[in-house]
Amino acid sequence: RLMCLNGATASQVRSFERPISALCALPGGGLAVALGGREVRVYASPSAEQPSMTFTDVAFNAVNALALAGDDTLIATDGSATSGVDDWARDLLELNRTGRVFKLDPSAKTVTRLAQGLGYAFGACAHGSAVLVSESWRHRLVLVAPGASPKVVLAHLPVYPSRLSKA
């Protein structure tokens, strides 16, 4: 369920048939929602009856974070190609390196893989034409740029980094 908190009162905005695995506010009051790690829906407003766009790429398995890029596209981190969003502990214990980063373009209706082979990609933040990505299992942040290998920005963090936001 997607809830709205107004002071001490919570009200339901909408419900979905699968758990919400990621959420992103869009300019103009829109909303992007990842469901069960396998689908991303874009709504013109939180209460819109139908999504204006739905991304259901067969590669999606564990979409766990969404972020707005500067060119009005979305960045989606997909933690693992082998473990679902609720099975992250198995992914950690197996030391998997199958995380990916995707660019979702609502205007062109395309999905582009920007990076793969990441140790549980779990959060992104646009940085110019590149994307800063949390790589949880490797305790680091990497910069993903089109056509280049991920570049380590911060390594050896004493945490499992996850969702990012500009501050």
pLDDT of residue 70: 83
Q: Which two tokens stand for residue 126?
A: 């646009």
User: Between vectors from CA 114 to CA 110 and to CA 115, what angle results, nearest 5°?
Assistant: 140
Per residue in 60-108, pLDDT tens? 999 999 999 988 899 999 999 999 999 999 999 999 999 999 999 999 9
Q: How far apart are the first and last CA of the chain?
A: 28
Per residue in 108-161, pLDDT tens? 999 999 999 999 999 999 998 899 999 999 999 999 998 899 999 999 999 999
H or E element that contains 113: strand 110-118
pTM above 0.85, yes or no: yes
Residue type present at position 159: V
Report the distance separating Cα 38 and Cα 60, nearest Å. 5
Q: Is the Cβ–Cβ distance between 159 and 139 less than 8 Å?
A: yes
The distance between the two most distant Cα atoms of the chain, rounded to a whole number of Å, is: 48
CB environment 78-111: b (16+ within 10 A), e (fewer): bbbbebbbebbeebbeeebbbbbbbbbbbeeeeb
Cα distances (angstroms) measured from residue 93 to each of 19, 31, 136: 24, 33, 13
Cα 16 to chain centroid distance, Å, stands at 18
Regarding beta strands 99-105 and 74-78, do their DSSP bridges make them parallel or antiparallel, or are they unpaired?
A: antiparallel
Report the distance separating Cα 13 and Cα 95, nearest Å. 38
H or E element that contains 88: helix 88-93
Q: Is the Cβ–Cβ distance between 88 and 120 less than 8 Å?
A: yes
Q: Which two tokens stand for residue 167?
A: 């501050």
